[in-house]
Amino acid sequence: MDELALALTTAFDLVLGLDPGLVEIDLLSLRISLTAVLLATALALPFGAAVALVRFPGRRIVIVLLNAAMGLPPVIVGLVIYLLLSRAGPLGEAGLLFTPTAMVIAQTVLVFPIIAALARQTIADLHEEYDEQLRSLGSGTWQSIVTLIVDGRMRLMTGVLAGFGRAIAEVGAVLIVGGNILHSTRVMTTTIVLETSKGNLALALALGLILITVAATVNAAAITLGETAHRRHG
């Protein structure tokens, strides 16, 4: 019990003292996860909306696969990307393995189906609600997609936040493709695993506290923005 109390005290000292090593790891984690979420959002929102509104052969299969992909095992994603980016792989010459870029790719692949699947359901619900208005305005499919994404942006934020939660907490895939290299690819989650295995509970707890704080802050900011936008637009 005393050891845990000491670890917690040291953890708070590291956080409040803005330990340089801690700050470096935190900033890299945020940069990688936010980049991955932005990329995934840019791809997933139009894709999910298109699946919701466009009728095409095999659409039901795509929906099933999209929902199933929400639970993709991170280690499998990491392994596949590792094979693609390794020297023997088709993208080996790019030299991306064990770099932050490889970690962004892995997180984007994991986040994409979450945002796309939730966007598909949200857009489908909105389309049922506004179908008559869109028809009366003569909106085509793609115009309807744009309109519904803009109109439902705050509802869609839920999927984006879920994606961010998946990205910032990811361990397996980023460990495989990033290598957990100090000053290069070491992020909060991989450091927590490493330091816990070494018995350095203070640093692991400090990073855990920051991880929780970051996730809570991002969610609180998004909710605040949503409420502000709702009040402005009635």
Residue 234 belongs to a domain = no
Per residue in 163-173, pLDDT (tens digit) is 998 999 999 99
User: Smallest Cα–Cα separation from 159: which of 43, 60, 28, 61?
Assistant: 43
Say what the pLDDT of residue 229 is: 59
pLDDT for residue 231: 66
Write down the pLDDT at residue 50: 93
User: Is residue 66 in a domain?
Assistant: yes
Does 145 fall in a domain?
yes
Stretch (H or E) spanning 48: helix 20-53
Domain of 174: which CATH number?
Answer: 1.10.3720.10
Q: What angle do CA 222, 224, 226 make, to 5 degrees?
A: 70
The predicted model scores a pTM of 0.90
Q: What pLDDT does 3 receive?
A: 65
- At residue 96, φ and ψ (nearest 5 deg) are -95, -15
**pLDDT tens across 93-110, in order?**
999 999 999 999 999 999
pLDDT < 70: residue spans in the chain: 1-4, 225-226, 228-234
Q: Which domain holds residue 15?
A: 2-227
- What confidence score (pLDDT) does residue 225 get? 66
14 domain-assigned? yes
Domains in the chain: how many in total? 1
26 assigned to some structural domain: yes
